[in-house]
Structure 1
Amino acid sequence: MKREQISVFDIFKIGIGPSSSHTLGPWRAAQQFVETLSAEGALPIVTGIKILLYGSLAKTGKGHGTDIAILLGLSGDDPVTFDVGAIGGKITDIETSNCLSLGGIQDIDFSITGDLIFLFSESLPFHPNAVTFQAFLENGKAISETYYSIGGGFVVKEGDQSQGKAEVDLPFPIDTAGDLLHWCIKTGLKISEVVLENELAWRSEVETRTGILNTFRVMKECIYRGCHTTGYLPGGLNVARRAASLNKRLLGDREYRNYDEWVLAIRNTGNSFQKTLDWVSCFALAVNEENASFGRVVTAPTNGAAGVVPAVLQYMIVFCDSFNDEKIMQFIMTASEVGSIFKKGATLSAAMGGCQAEIGVSSAMAAAALTECLGGSQRQVLMAAEIAMEHHLGLTCDPIAGLVQVPCIERNTMGAIKAITASQLALQTNPDKAKVSLDAVVKTMWQTALDMNSKYKETSDGGLAINIPISLPEC
Structure 2
Amino acid sequence: MQQREQISVFDMFKIGIGPSSSHTLGPWRAAQQFVELLHEKAVLERVVELKVLLYGSLAKTGKGHGTDIAILLGLSGDDPVTFAVDRIDSKIAEITGTHRMVLGGTHAISFYTDDDLLFLFTESLPFHPNAVTFQAFLDNETAVSATYYSIGGGFVVKEGEQSQHRAEVDLPFPVDTAGELLHWCRKTGLKISEVVMENELAWRSEQETRKGVLDIFRVMQECMYRGCHTSGYLPGGLQVARRAAALNKRLIKGLPYSDYASWVTAMRQTGNGFQNILDWVSCFALAVNEENASFGRVVTAPTNGAAGVIPAVLQYYISFCDGFDEQRIIQFLLTASEIGSIFKKGATISAAMGGCQAEIGVSSAMAAAALTECLGGSQRQVLMAAEIAMEHHLGMTCDPIGGLVQVPCIERNTMGAIKAITASQLALQSNPDKAKVSLDAVVKTMWQTAQDMNSKYKETADGGLAINIPISLPEC
TM > 0.5: yes
**Counterpart for residue 162 of structure 1:** 163
**Counterpart for residue 191 of structure 1:** 192
**Counterpart for residue 102 of structure 1:** 103
Measured after TM superposition, the shift of residue 336 of structure 1 is 0.1
- 1:76-475 alignment runs, 5 A limit: 76-474=77-475
Measured after TM superposition, the shift of residue 161 of structure 1 is 1.9
User: Is the Cα contact below 8 Å between 2:3 and 2:345 reproduced in 1?
Assistant: no
Corresponding pairs, count: 475
- TM-score (normalised: structure 2): 0.99
The code of the aligned residue for 2:409 comes to C
Q: Deviations over 1:293-321 (max 9, x none)?
A: 00000000000000000000000000001
Measured after TM superposition, the shift of residue 162 of structure 1 is 3.1
User: Is the Cα contact below 8 Å between 1:390 and 1:441 reproduced in 2?
Assistant: yes
Answering whether residue 47 of structure 2 is matched by residue 22 of structure 1, we say no
Q: 1:225–1:100: structure 2 CA closer, same or farther, 3 Å change rule?
A: same
Q: 1:10–1:184: structure 2 CA closer, same or farther, 3 Å change rule?
A: same
Q: 1:57–1:3: structure 2 CA closer, same or farther, 3 Å change rule?
A: closer
**Cα RMSD for the two superposed structures:** 0.8
SS of the residue 1:298 aligns to:
strand
The code of the aligned residue for 1:117 comes to L
The code of the aligned residue for 1:263 comes to V
Q: Deviations over 1:261-304 (max 9, x none)?
A: 00000000001000010000000000000000000000000000
User: Is the Cα contact below 8 Å between 1:63 and 1:474 reproduced in 2?
Assistant: no
The code of the aligned residue for 2:217 comes to F
SS of the residue 1:458 aligns to:
coil
- TM-score (normalised: structure 1): 0.99
Q: Deviations over 1:124-179 (max 9, x none)?
A: 00000000000000010000000000000000000012301111000000000000
Give the whole-Å Cα distance in 2 for the aligned partners of 1:376 and 1:138: 63
- The share of aligned pairs that are identical, in percent, is 80
Give the whole-Å Cα distance in 1 for the aligned partners of 2:241 and 2:173: 46
Measured after TM superposition, the shift of residue 2 of structure 1 is 7.1
SS of the residue 1:135 aligns to:
strand
The code of the aligned residue for 1:328 comes to I
User: Is the Cα contact below 8 Å between 2:3 and 2:162 reproduced in 1?
Assistant: no
Give the whole-Å Cα distance in 2 for the aligned partners of 1:25 and 1:16: 11
User: Is the Cα contact below 8 Å between 2:386 and 2:439 reproduced in 1?
Assistant: yes
After superposing on structure 2, the runs of 4+ consecutive aligned residues of structure 1 that deviate more than 3 Å are none
The code of the aligned residue for 1:246 comes to L
Q: What are structure 2's unaligned runs of at least 5 residues? A: none
Give the whole-Å Cα distance in 1 for the aligned partners of 2:332 and 2:375: 10
Give the whole-Å Cα distance in 2 for the aligned partners of 1:414 and 1:271: 20
User: Is the Cα contact below 8 Å between 1:356 and 1:394 reproduced in 2?
Assistant: yes
The code of the aligned residue for 1:131 comes to V
Give the whole-Å Cα distance in 1 for the aligned partners of 2:458 and 2:473: 20
Give the whole-Å Cα distance in 2 for the aligned partners of 1:409 and 1:161: 33
User: Is the Cα contact below 8 Å between 2:400 and 2:466 reproduced in 1?
Assistant: yes
**Counterpart for residue 10 of structure 1:** 11
Measured after TM superposition, the shift of residue 3 of structure 1 is 3.9
